[in-house]
Chain A
């Protein structure tokens, strides 16, 4: 039995959606929270959300955090200031994890999470020299073409 997907009257019980990660874990998320994701929203509209939705390219531990993010952002009555602080805490994680968030947000089409995570990566790069960037991301340099590339790009440094 499926309830109308767009109504959200107080008397109805909160509709839950089930998501299944690549490693077989299942997570429940409120429908309202799931609407943050355009991908999930489309599935709900097409009535495909009654059975667990498989997400083969998102790991369990990442999916857990994504659910947490969407749930928080669907809450009412949270002021912008404290939400921003919560976001900052949320992305205060290892670099690998931030990239996982980006990929998950891109697949699920969650613009708020995508913007947030991309900004974090951009901030890691902004204003840094190549050496510093390499240090942050532990990149091994390829020295050969560096001089030539540097010269080609001189215009950006003036």
Chain B
């Protein structure tokens, strides 16, 4: 029954923390709707406490970090906006190439999320826990003062670290693929478009060009009319060329002062924590400052202009005319000027290499002649598509597109048979009562497990994702290899290192009774299974019988029956390991995001001695 004249002060009589309790089960959307009802409810829905509860409910970061991050934004509502936006990105993202493993873990930074690539590596002298684990930066997404998000790709070219600023396309709540794209945009003119004002007025006009998720739906619809060609529809070579052109223009050298840590170290020490927060704060302001004052008013730092006489040009000519028009831009920045000619040569060289690779791949896949015959007729339509694509805007910029696509998978590993500049989501497995061993595990071959010694150096680190599958009424535990630390890969990325049948106990006893510290070892469970073995060539491994042992100390070990090889695994907390880890240089921008070339060796260890594979830098220093 609805009373005749409701008194809005009923809501107002509620103290802040009670309102926070009410809003606990509300989504940010519900809360915003409540705030739209009337002026007094709008004021109530601005409450810091209420939005703190919302931030907490998102579960992205801990309470302690929430308070620190709050200092970098205008309100808890702005913080919630950022956290809500980036929440679907947290987790493990993978790619098929290189076959040794391409694992990018996206984790919270400082008012940011950072994509960290785990490098294929051998265990350091301190074992897994104190590694340190080697990682390289792939991208960062920063939250601005008003909570809007911006994307920065990381890359390194000829010994110099760069960031490549871009925008963030709307992130799907259930996204399963991260795409690196180029996006044409219309240049925004002051207040003409109905642009959502950010929470705090920005005096910096260069921020207007950035596409952020605050754009209203109707506006996005206007821009994406039916005839607009999507980046993903362009041919591989066009996409690659566009990415190369854009990244080479928007890149900015990272000054030494901004080359600090991307996230806080793992430490119980309050003093260290405070120091880290200071450094992180400084770095964040520096990056935003870098971005806003690089270019003059005509060109946004994030985009580059597509010349107006574009319609008749092919991409080769586009590149030439872009070079012509961008010479004006380059005069603003000294780093590019003298490197211009050398850069063109490198770009061209990269491009030729890329085409040869792709043509080589498609010929062998499609049976050769068919591809070549069709290329002439399709090349015209491709050219038309490219022109259509470029026509839809007058500025071009880098963008990260987190979308949902139809993905098939085989035994927990997504099928990635295409030429997208993408990273694919590896679904998070959490242990449940009937799925005790699900999740991320890591370890090495050999018994006893633990730290490498003088005479047994360099145990290769393996990362495995364990998941469950029902097959013919049997419950199977599948261990999917996502990272292999050997110098030259043994089995394809995403293979099942072993499969255990949880319903079938194994009669074979665990061969060892004590571990490295001479402590007794007890086996809680043993299951029958099979482990990976050589099969028909590299691509189709076989399997040989073995057993999986669950040890009392929380480790699990799989033993191949015939060869007596043993793989010992422990649960890993990637976030903690990375916080204690050691950062190594990244690859050039596009390859740093997706390494599309097929490779069987460690392409990420650029600093290693090629004849020895990946040498741990710790060993080099001693």
Interface residues of B in 577-597 (CB under 8 A from A): none
Closest to A151 in B: B196
Closest to B36 in A: A130
Contact, CB under 8 Å: A115 / B6: no
For B372, the chain A residues whose CB sits under 8 A away are none
For A158, the chain B residues whose CB sits under 8 A away are 170, 213, 217
Total CB contacts across the A-B interface at under 8 A:
127
Interface residues of A in 130-158 (CB under 8 A from B): 130, 133-142, 145-146, 148-158
Interface centre among B15, B25, B194 (most CB of A within 10 A): B25
Comparing B26-34, B154-162, B508-516, the segment that makes contact with chain A is B26-34
**Measured CA separation A85–B13 after assembly (Å):** 29
For B38, the chain A residues whose CB sits under 8 A away are 134, 139-142
Closest to A142 in B: B39
B5 within 8 A of A: yes
What range describes how many residues of B lie at the interface?
A: 35 or more
**Measured CA separation A34–B38 after assembly (Å):** 39
Contact, CB under 8 Å: B32 / A125: no
Given A154-B216, A156-B29, A156-B81, A95-B21 contact (CB < 8 Å)? no
Closest to B171 in A: A158
For B32, the chain A residues whose CB sits under 8 A away are 153, 156-157
Given A102-B14, A136-B2, A157-B32, A151-B216 contact (CB < 8 Å)? yes
Contact for B23 among A122, A145, A146, A153, CB less than 8 A = A122
For A137, the chain B residues whose CB sits under 8 A away are 6, 8, 10-11, 37
Contact for B3 among A103, A122, A138, A148, CB less than 8 A = A138
How far is the CB of A135 from the nearest CB of chain B, in Å? 8
For B148, the chain A residues whose CB sits under 8 A away are 155
B445 within 8 A of A: no
Contact, CB under 8 Å: A126 / B216: no
Contact for A106 among B4, B18, B27, CB less than 8 A = B18
What range describes how many residues of A lie at the interface?
A: 35 or more
For B21, the chain A residues whose CB sits under 8 A away are 114-115, 118
How far is the CB of B3 from the nearest CB of chain A, in Å? 6
Contact, CB under 8 Å: A141 / B37: yes
B199 within 8 A of A: yes
Contact, CB under 8 Å: A99 / B13: yes
A129 within 8 A of B: yes
Contact, CB under 8 Å: A134 / B37: yes
Contact, CB under 8 Å: B197 / A148: yes
Closest to B18 in A: A106
Contact, CB under 8 Å: A133 / B33: yes
B229 within 8 A of A: no
How far is the CB of A129 from the nearest CB of chain B, in Å? 6
For B81, the chain A residues whose CB sits under 8 A away are 155-156
For B18, the chain A residues whose CB sits under 8 A away are 102, 106, 114, 118
B85 within 8 A of A: yes
A127 within 8 A of B: yes
Contact, CB under 8 Å: B30 / A152: no
How far is the CB of B47 from the nearest CB of chain A, in Å? 15
How far is the CB of B73 from the nearest CB of chain A, in Å? 13
B389 within 8 A of A: no
**Measured CA separation A153–B170 after assembly (Å):** 14
A119 within 8 A of B: yes
How far is the CB of B472 from the nearest CB of chain A, in Å? 38
B600 within 8 A of A: no
**Measured CA separation A119–B36 after assembly (Å):** 20
Contact, CB under 8 Å: B13 / A130: no
B215 within 8 A of A: yes
**Measured CA separation A50–B424 after assembly (Å):** 68
For A79, the chain B residues whose CB sits under 8 A away are none
Contact, CB under 8 Å: B42 / A119: no
Interface residues of A in 71-97 (CB under 8 A from B): 94-96
For A121, the chain B residues whose CB sits under 8 A away are 22
Q: 21 A-B Cβ contacts within 8 A?
A: A95-B2, A96-B10, A125-B30, A126-B25, A126-B30, A128-B33, A129-B33, A130-B33, A133-B37, A134-B38, A137-B11, A138-B5, A139-B6, A139-B8, A146-B36, A154-B213, A155-B147, A155-B213, A156-B32, A158-B213, A158-B217
**The 3 residue pairs across chains A and B that have the minimum distance between CB atoms:** A138-B6, A153-B32, A130-B36
B residues at A contact (CB < 8 Å): 1-6, 8, 10-11, 13-15, 18, 21-39, 41-42, 81, 84-85, 147-148, 170, 194, 196-197, 199, 213-217
Q: Please give 20 more A-B residue pairs, beta carbons under 8 A apart, in addition to A125-B26, A130-B33, A130-B37.
A: A94-B1, A95-B2, A99-B13, A103-B14, A118-B18, A119-B25, A121-B22, A122-B22, A125-B34, A137-B8, A137-B10, A138-B4, A139-B38, A139-B41, A149-B36, A152-B214, A153-B36, A155-B85, A155-B214, A156-B84
A residues at B contact (CB < 8 Å): 94-96, 99, 102-103, 106, 114-115, 118-119, 121-123, 125-130, 133-142, 145-146, 148-158
